């Protein structure tokens, strides 16, 4: 009797995001799916280091946090774009959710405790924002 194991190298989605929600708790999510998992600092380190149990790998894959390759991300983005364009046909409102690296430092920003030590005008270019 032979047992075949499928070994698939996983990587973090290019749409993977981390948002600190309170001390020692972060939300990790795929920016296309917006289905967060709330984790501790240690769990976040384990996720980023791919040091998680098999059942957790399945959950992270289902939520789009772990992907086998960039093609999965690109296909998901293309599908979302097609669904949106079929329904809406044009963009009338655009919400730009920037990261802690935003150089605007707005007082009304929803990201609490953001640090401006890494901010510079070179962080986000106009072509990057246009994507």
Q: In the prediction, which pLDDT does 87 show?
A: 83
Domain ranges for the chain, please list them: 11-88, 95-131
Q: Is the pLDDT score of 37 beyond 90?
A: yes
Dihedral sign for Cα 62, 65, 68, 73, please: positive
Question: According to the model, what pLDDT value does residue 84 have?
Answer: 83
Give residue 117's pLDDT.
Answer: 47
Condensed to tens digits (0 to 9), the pLDDT of residues 40-76 reads: 999 999 999 999 998 999 999 999 999 999 999 999 9
Task: Give the sheet arrangement for strand 37-39, strand by strand.
Answer: 16-22, 25-30, 37-39
Residue 98 confidence class, pLDDT cut points 50, 70, 90: low
Q: Whole-angstrom distance between the N-terminal and C-terminal Cα of the chain?
A: 52
- The size of the chain, in residues, is 131
């Amino acid at each position: 009797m032979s047992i075949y194991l499928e070994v698939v190298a996983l990587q973090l989605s290019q749409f993977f995001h981390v948002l600190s929600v309170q001390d020692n708790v972060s939300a990790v999510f795929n920016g296309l799916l917006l289905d967060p998992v709330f984790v501790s600092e240690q769990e976040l380190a384990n996720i980023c280091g791919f040091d998680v149990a098999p059942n957790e790998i399945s959950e992270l894959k289902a939520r789009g946090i772990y992907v086998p390759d960039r093609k999965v991300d690109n296909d998901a983005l293309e599908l979302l774009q097609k669904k949106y364009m079929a329904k809406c046909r044009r963009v009338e409102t655009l919400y730009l959710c920037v990261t802690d690296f935003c150089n605007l430092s707005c007082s009304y920003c929803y990201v609490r405790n953001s640090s401006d030590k890494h901010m510079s005008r070179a962080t986000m270019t106009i072509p990057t924002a246009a994507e």
